[in-house]
Structure 1
């Protein structure tokens, strides 16, 4: 009965808002929501009582967050991949991403999604731009086959998966946690979706704090000159080419793509190509993660 109800909602458009799939049931989604087959279940008084919560809290501000986050999502709904985005003002930032297959498909998709501005045609972000949710997190289920944007359909065909976005507003930014489950497995159930909805606000709060803490750590560091950044990057072994190192150094320094192109005497498209290659080699997907990588280099240099 519930499955047919969900299917009828899917036909109404590519984005399905799921707030409460159990309006007349004892399994009604509370602020904490039900957790499938688990002894610890959130309650309105304790919405953070879900398996993996303490692990997530301990991972705030560390490189362990993507792994811990994906473990929680796997436990709740069998997720295979996840990625975290932040919509700040009129641009989108990709933060952490992870996948159980050990590949970087979700990372590469995220880079394209942001750099090629595909997100502007995504119905999830279109709705968020016009009516951001100020109170609770919202779970959106995406019917990729119904997307009008051909580029988006092609992008998502790289991973044949069900796609959900948990979104919420924190400190002026809209955070989007993209959750993917490959279609080779059975379709995600209503109860699993309700569980995602139940822990959505908690996850968004934790991720916002994680990103805030990392940002604070980067800001309190001393101001580095471009020559110092280049020297430190060149001193550390990596697979980056010399041009990729130069582009990365200037991104860390805070230069725009146009500014980097002018400084290096190359085209702006070439800058984007070098940046994309560098991110792929480093296993990252954003300037934010590049900053974290450079912070790690600083720590290595101090030990040496």
Structure 2
């Protein structure tokens, strides 16, 4: 199916449904409808860089069956091999969205190409990013093998609208983190292995680590000593078989990416 032509004057009406869907569960679907209209995008994935060495998959929707696996793999380690990462970090002080360099398979390592382009059948992508405070939201628009590469006009339309789309996506992701992340994490700790093996206090400490609290902030929030905070964290990590905050994030991301009801 080809994409409908979007003239510059139509941009406001095309993007209006996305703005109205910010913070709502329908946002992903509305985003996908929008980018299909603009350039027949097949799949969209959004990654949030909240530190220089940590990323999480904030959103994924479209026609790639292994999309959740890609989100986990990218968040765990492939983000460090992404050639766009250096550009995003270099443009940290940019006051507006960044449209990233044109896609070329040779930009990527063999293992990256194997998983993201061969296994996922991605043949083209256009990407943009925006820094909001200390977080970078990296928005990727993909075309798959059954669609073929973006046409010249499609690429031009998407590149023209990507900055506005990216800014709207970033605002939604911020709203979603504030509104939904604590509830989702609490549900994971209450219902899913390996978190079920933790004591109540160990869960409370881990939940706050995942919410961005430092050790001193955790101690103050829970009304316990800094030494006790370290002790609960150490015990929790031992039970989970991990040794770092990054590994704790990886467990949570993997569980969040699984279909509802999967174990």
The residue number in structure 2 matching 1:178 is 140
The residue number in structure 2 matching 1:268 is 242
Instruction: Report the Cα offset of residue 107 of structure 1.
Output: 1.8
1:127 lines up with 2:127 in the alignment: no
1:253 lines up with 2:207 in the alignment: yes
Residue 168 of structure 2 aligns to a residue whose secondary structure is helix
Report 1 or 2 for greater relative contact order, CA contacts < 8 Å, sequence distance ≥ 6.
1
The residue number in structure 2 matching 1:42 is 8
The residue number in structure 2 matching 1:243 is 194
Instruction: Count the aligned residue pairs.
Output: 226
The residue number in structure 2 matching 1:77 is 39
The residue number in structure 1 matching 2:59 is 96
Instruction: Report the Cα offset of residue 60 of structure 1.
Output: 0.6
Structure 2: gaps of 5 or more residues: 211-229
1:85/1:175 contact within 8 Å kept: yes
The residue number in structure 2 matching 1:158 is 119
Instruction: Report the Cα offset of residue 142 of structure 1.
Output: 1.9
Report the structure, 1 or 2, having the larger helix content: 2
Q: Hey, what's the Cα distance between the residues in 2 that align with 1:36 and 1:94? A: 29
Deviations 1:267-302 (A, max 9, x none): 21896785465234346xxxxxxxxxxxxxxxxxxx
Instruction: Report the Cα offset of residue 211 of structure 1.
Output: 2.0
Match of 2:159 among 182, 197, 218: 197
RMSD in angstroms over aligned alpha carbons? 3.6
Residue 142 of structure 1 aligns to a residue whose secondary structure is coil
Structure 1: gaps of 5 or more residues: 1-34, 235-239, 284-304
Q: TM-score, normalised by structure 1?
A: 0.62
Q: Hey, what's the Cα distance between the residues in 2 that align with 1:251 and 1:82? A: 33
Instruction: Report the Cα offset of residue 252 of structure 1.
Output: 6.9
Match of 1:233 among 187, 190, 194: 190
Match of 1:279 among 234, 256, 259: 256
